Structure 1
């Protein structure tokens, strides 16, 4: 009975029951403890709220004024708590999701229509941002990112298969330039640079067995959009480092030619991550179930 809201709730019960004994039984506390708590409340605000006799209890004028405001206020609080409790069992409310643009296109876009149909009471609020933002401080419920960038204290759920990089160029480009046979050969080529918004240009990564290289390539074209990277490569502007799944059709038709394939093994793809498993809202669980990757 120490916190203020509990004491106010107890006062309401006493006033409605017109009895400390009945109210104490309903609240499952001692009559003396309840009487002491109400008396402390009266001392705190400086006015008597209840008139007590050996036979009855009734609100004073000040008590009636408090009751007039207390009843709707407590009703609103109880309704809010009930609604919040419902978030655990029924997918309703808002889920704020942060993801890079590539994940929005490859992970989210194919399932957004199904999610909207299956969960009409969930507002999925998606922000695309290629920079690595702190999820909690920025006010997001969950994010999507490459596994290597996710902090160990986060819960991570796979939402894409492994991805594989590809170094590619157009036949017209290779008609004028010899194909690279080793990673450092790309330093002699015009390379299409890519940078995440607000970050430095991406260094091309190569792995083969126990060898790993990260090379800062050079070229006259630097962009922050992967679609532009692919289009520039198709137009013969130079070599490009892209995800294999984005150019499958161009490889099949021969519009792009792959090089250094043995230096480009698969790497873990995208994961949906969030801070805790405890008290997980049903709306977030619905997002996870919809976009979870299964073989």
Structure 2
């Protein structure tokens, strides 16, 4: 109040040790600004009671191989339902600090989500499967144990840190990491899947890619008992009080699709 009186160069209140009262000038000032204050209050109440309309850009960091899998129906439906929203999805294999790099949310496997983030389930459990074509197995034999894999040629995966991925197998609490000799090395799961279909070698691929080919007989899955399921994809975001409207709409759509 003292600052306002200083700017107006007029006393608005008479103050004593026991009371504060408006001066005649102060009373006129309040009378003049009262309608504007009431309008501001009504506007604030109106905005607060209306749902936030999603507009703007939603930035998401996601693994290279998952965006095409999530396009239908999630991404396609989101863009159609919220025409004022723009999706900016960066696909890369490295683990990203979404807060430091300015993303609204990230998508990663459940085991990779930072503990201080809020996670929303995008997919159920997934499995990595050992697969090859019928012709490949007819020529090279079917492995009966993880050790047999060492006699095969694989479609290897190059990791983001530069090393080649060692296949992680597990059965009855026994965990193995098998370095199957690669005939070709690729750094993207979809390309590895295609190479397996071409008969280049035996591959370790996600059941997202291999499921239909196994059902049709184009690929054969072996050593299934060594390939347990694990937590699938999660959408995650910082645990803050206010979730941006565009992200909230995206999360609500995830729940809607899962409930179908």
When normalised by structure 2's length, the TM-score is 0.79
284-293 or 125-134: bigger deviation: 284-293
- The alignment partner of 2:140 has SS state of coil
Change (3 A) 1:154 1:88: farther
1:55-204 paired onto structure 2 within 5 Å? 89-204=52-167
* 1:159-196 CA-partner distances (Å, limit 9, x unpaired): 01111121001112112212111112211110110124
Q: In structure 1, what is the equivalent of residue 258 of structure 2?
A: 294
Q: Is the 8 A contact 2:109 2:232 kept in 1?
A: yes
Residue number in structure 1 paired with 2:12: 21
Higher strand residue share: 2
Which runs of at least 4 in structure 1 moved beyond 3 Å after TM superposition?
54-57, 84-88, 196-199
**C-alpha displacement of 1:201:** 1.9
Partners of 1:241 and 1:206 in 2: how far apart? 10
Question: Which residue in 2 is equivalent to 1:220?
Answer: 183
The answer (yes or no) to whether the contact 2:131–2:202 under 8 Å persists in 1 is: yes
Alpha-carbon spacing, 1:87–1:237, altered in 2? closer, same or farther (3 Å): farther
Work out the number of aligned pairs and report it.
235
> Are 2:210 and 1:268 aligned?
no
TM-score norm. by structure 1 comes to 0.70
* Structure showing greater Rg: 1
Give ranges in structure 2 of 5+ residues lacking alignment.
Answer: 27-43
Judge which range, 130-139 or 102-111, deviates more: 102-111
- Of 168, 174, 192, which aligns to 1:229? 192
Give the corresponding residue for 2:37.
none
| Partners of 1:193 and 1:240 within 8 A in 2 | yes
Superposition RMSD in Å: 3.1
Q: Is the CA contact (8 Å cut-off) linking 2:5 and 2:12 kept in structure 1? A: no
The gaps in structure 1 that reach 5 residues or longer are: 25-29, 32-53, 58-80
Secondary structure, aligned partner of 1:101: coil
